[in-house]
Chains A and B, each alone.
Chain A
Amino acid sequence: MNSPSKELLRGTLEMLVLSLLSKEESYGYEIISTVKDLTEGIIELKEGSLYPVLYRLEDASLIESFWQAKGRGNPRKYYKLTETGKQKEQELIAEWKSFTVQINNILDWSDKDE
């Protein structure tokens, strides 16, 4: 299976990041690794896309960041959802589900005609 186009991914990236962070706080590298693992490598987030999205979400107060040292390693920059972010995540997911239902309706209808 091919990777989704840049445009398609760009349109859904904010929702994906918010969704991942709704489960648990995370840091940049972990977000990229989680997406890669969950999609069996089909969706591969790049740093050049992820960080601008994290900054946008942070500027919009949907997430917040904090530095935390774990063990003897370097401190990591973690991101977590804010209350506003939780609401926004729910809105985006509802919107996405409704959108995919409508798109599938169109595709099903097209298939029947063939």
Chain B
Amino acid sequence: MNKKVDSYINSVMKEIYLKKRFKKKIKLDLYSHIMEAAEDNEINQILENMGHPHTLAKEMMENYSDNFEAMGTLNAVLYGSKVRNFEIKSDKMVGSYPLIHVAMGYDQETGRRKVAKGAIAIGDLSIGLLSFGALSAGLFSFGAFSLGILSIGAVTFSLLFSIGAVAISLLVAIGAVAIGGLFAIGAAALSLFNAIGEETFVLFSESTSSNGTLTTIKFSLIFLLVTLPLLLYNFLKSHFNKTIE
């Protein structure tokens, strides 16, 4: 087979973010198309007429940009990361929300950043039962800034369990700076009851001395742990006000 044709088709296929069976079909059809054209033209001319592989792949993908079935979650995330302004939802629904929603970039009509909202939400801003994003909120959230029941990320807030560089949780927090209601583990660990780390502060501890600064910290910690669930509830309620009551 002509190396130029192979190279051209492979270059196109590198930019096709679809499931294997769709890619296989496209690859075979492109090959067949070039062979059909080769009966009338030189290969170089055919490839030139077909345009740059990037342009062909881009046009092909634009035709699949709303086809979740063909793309799948992983390809949707990869394609979205590449084009930066992209949104796709699975056909399957959980209540009134899509099972999977991937949203990245800005809404062209409103100019606002898109928010992924679904049972599984993935995007710059994501809200879902399972959410992944730069700013994510949900039952299980993963992201640079994440808020949830269980949160993992750089800066995390959670009701039950947080892991992050800065981790704050009503129950357990693990991180460089960990603030946990029940338990905190970290280089700097603050907790109501149990703290493990280089610098620890435990509110209800007999050994903890009491002075002005510590009293301030105590009240700040209590305030934070009391308001955290309210913040989370209000945040989720404002986005899912139809479902959370």
Contact = CB atoms under 8 A, between A and B. Distances in A.
B59 A46 contact: yes
B56 A74 contact: no
B8 to A, nearest CB: 11
Contacts of B154: none
Nearest to B32: A77
Interface in B20-69: 25-26, 29-30, 32-33, 35-37, 39, 50-51, 55-60, 62-64
A21 B56 CA distance: 24
Interface residues of B, number: 21
Given A47-B50, A52-B64, A55-B25, A74 B59 contact: no
Contact of A48 (B35, B39, B59): B59
A48 B37 contact: no
A51 B29 contact: yes
Contacts, number: 50
Interface string A19-51: 000000001111000000000000000111101
A30 B64 CA distance: 23
B36 A29 contact: yes
Q: Is the interface of B mostly helix, strand, loop or mixed?
A: helix
B26 A30 contact: no
A49 B32 contact: no
Contacts of B32: 27-28, 74-77
B58 A76 contact: no
Nearest to A56: B63
Nearest to A71: B39
B59 A49 contact: yes
B35 A47 contact: no
Contacts of A48: 55-60, 62-63
A73 interface: yes
Interface in B150-180: none
B36 A46 contact: no
Interface string A64-84: 000000000111110000000
A53 B63 contact: yes
Contacts of A75: 32
Interface in A67-103: 73-77
Given A27-B36, A47-B60, A51-B60, 14 more contacts: A28-B29, A28-B32, A28-B33, A28-B36, A30-B36, A48-B59, A49-B63, A51-B26, A52-B63, A52-B64, A55-B25, A73-B35, A73-B39, A74-B32
Interface of B: 25-26, 29-30, 32-33, 35-37, 39, 50-51, 55-60, 62-64
Interface of A: 27-30, 46-49, 51-53, 55, 73-77
